[in-house]
Structure 1
Amino acid sequence: MAAGAPRIFVSHLAGVAVFDPNGDQVGRVRDLVAMLRVGRRPPRLLGLVVELSTRRRIFLPMTRVTGIESGQVITTGVLNVRRFEQRPTERLVLGEMLDRVVRLVETGEDVTVLDVAIQQLPARRDWEIDRVFVRKGKAGAFRRNKGATLTVDWSAVDGFSLEEHGQGAENLLATFEQLRPADLANVLHHLSAKRRAEVAAALTNERLADVLEELPEDDQIEILGKLKEERAADVLEEMDPDDAADLLSELPEEDKERLLALMQPSDAADVRRLMAYEERTAGGLMTTEPIVLRPDATVADALARVRNPDLSPALAAQVYVCRPPDETPTGKYLGTIHFQRLLRDPPYTLVSAVLDDDLQALAPDAQLPEIAGFFATYDMVAAPVVDEGGSLLGAVTVDDVLDHMLPDDWREQEFHLAGEVNHGDGGA
């Protein structure tokens, strides 16, 4: 190897920005692609999987990487934007190597891979995986920080070429722990079915629920089907009721009823109520958990509810004032208060004094075009859904409207570009 050539641990590259020679960002690193070689020769690093701003994943060969330094990757400026497709002889370093159980050649002892290091070779721009950071013992949910750790040469371990069942995922997840749910969903979507199930098993119920809401329908059903039924019910409880209802509606009737029976009665009741409405109506799109206050609550009470970090920005944008009971379906709906109005009035002001009671609410059977027209007309991000008796049933948010207006496979669609796109003046 070149004297003084830097050694980089791959966990430090997850999510790192990729720039062209002009300093313009073209994407972020989502994985590395390596090819195992015969015997104990270190794998050759073929390139990087880069996610563009369009969420399209492309392959960036290492021969087009001019530098990896200071938390960034610099390219020659020319990218082939054809979608990345993994070949049978290739291995995803983050997705398939981390958390694998391998053996120390000298002692035969099992060790768990925490990280691997890459280094540039003297010839041209070739890179290879030359070191492995391991922990003694097999991975497990309660073994973090247990067992001695050591860094060894690639040739000192054996077992990367074997198919492994029950591979852990904690170190893979650690590399992506800062990702938004939509971005982590994109990572899962591009993993193999085996790795997808292993990663899902390692996520907390709350995190998995957030990620499921962002996945294509086929991935949702696949992941839910591989969970134990009790855990699947727990995850459904953590999902927004409307998303849980959409997912359950795609399952066979007996599976759906079995999972509903395992859910908490109050959560199951909300989901059943939503499933009673047609999918593309306000009743089918709404969430049953908006912010509801009684008329004697104050602006300070409203702001305290809005601060809840578990609320989406759309749901936190306004509160709904109703007579008791204050859980949907509520007593008589009185009106809406927008977040900006809450910021303008003294904290001790009663919410009943600052209501917007002129805004027309949606009926539960309102169809998607009518709902979209409502949002466009009034520049809203959420809208109340009220029944004939004047009770608030829930609220429709703009993200759910967009979900149903876009093509069914919109989460999987990417820009169908081909050929070479020049992102700078550098040559190939």
Structure 2
Amino acid sequence: MSSFKITGGKKLKGELTPQGAKNEALQILCAVLLTKEAVIINNIPSIRDVNKLMELLEDMGVKRTKLGEGSYKFEASEVHFDYFETDSYKEKASSLRGSIMLLGPMLGRFAKGKAPRPGGDKIGRRPLDTHFVGFTKLGATFEYEAGDAFYTVEGSKMEGAYVWMDEISVTGTANVLMAAVMTKGTTTIYNAACEPYLQQLCKMLNSMGAKISGVGSNLLTIEGVEELGGCEHTMLPDMIEIGSFIGLAAMTKSEITIKDCKIKELGIIPDTFRKLGIQMEFRGDDIHIPAQENYEINTLIDGSILTIYDAPWPGFTPDLISIILVTAIQAKGTLLVHQKMFESRLFFVDKLIDMGAQIILCDPHRATVVGLNRHHNLRGIRMTSPDIRAGVALLIAALSADGTSIIDNIEQIDRGYQFIDERLNAIGANIVRL
């Protein structure tokens, strides 16, 4: 297990370029299985989860050629189905939450697939029923082997159908969508997720020859085609990393410019941070955050305490709730953070309280943050990263704190943030990887 040693209290200054979007990458990479032709993908982040998925695809028989930094060519002309019976496949796929999205493209192209129960962050219940209900609506069958925790799907009789998504699941929508694009007939997916990641997947599939309409809405219509061809696709910058950098700048009183943000794709993320009193300036597609000594949380019109909560897109992404919470620690005012979608995501606040934050954990879903307004700084402590987003929230807290902090289990942070220590050190941070 690796750790970060952070010397806090340093103001940062400079430019940061966000990596390619992690959540988009996991979908896009699975989609290469839908064609035997070459698919070129640009702006792939070099992070643990994405690298492990690319290695898994290679083990399955997909040829991968590096074309440049973050750019690869994939050719899935052959897929070795005997590999799915091996212990290696079970071990590698079960460690990745995104591996469940291999089933959709395997169903769509080969009418069969197998995947173990996936891993990922321990942030609460994350049922997979939505995926398999969608598959069965298309006419597929599935079995769950509880003994070895494997899902097996078969889809030789699939036809287009009306699919109601009982949960607005990004991965569930992506999986059913990829199963439907080469399924005969018309499929409609209602209550579909419409995050930018999903829109990007639809645009990529359409460039491969799929016929998907309604992109960006919660009603997708798919006209099945017989086969898909190759394409070239460039991924969006990671909006979660962009939000993390905005919070980092505010907490550490730093002047940071975030480059090439694709601001139009960020939705309400910038405005949500503005509700905390954080100033920012759009310069083309760059976001400039000036150094701020103080920032004040907005109140409602009648003076009531502001609540920030997560919701499916175009609402505020749950992946930034941890960042909003930690950023509010040094604001002036009080904030209620309501994490609606996952019941274990706020449990990391005990570490922030140990650092000197004034936070009341009301229940598994809600926390009240009473801003310190710089009256005193957080203090460095030793702590453990429980998941990707909480890990970066703790890193932001440590960078703003007096003294030295140690964050253990930083493999969690590495799953979602590319060379984060090196990039922050380049603009003035003091982070040592132990």
**Shared fold (TM-score greater than 0.5)?**
no
Structure of higher CA gyration radius = 1
**TM-score if structure 1 supplies the norm length?**
0.29
**TM-score if structure 2 supplies the norm length?**
0.28
Task: Point out which structure has higher relative CO (alpha carbons under 8 A, 6+ apart).
Answer: 2
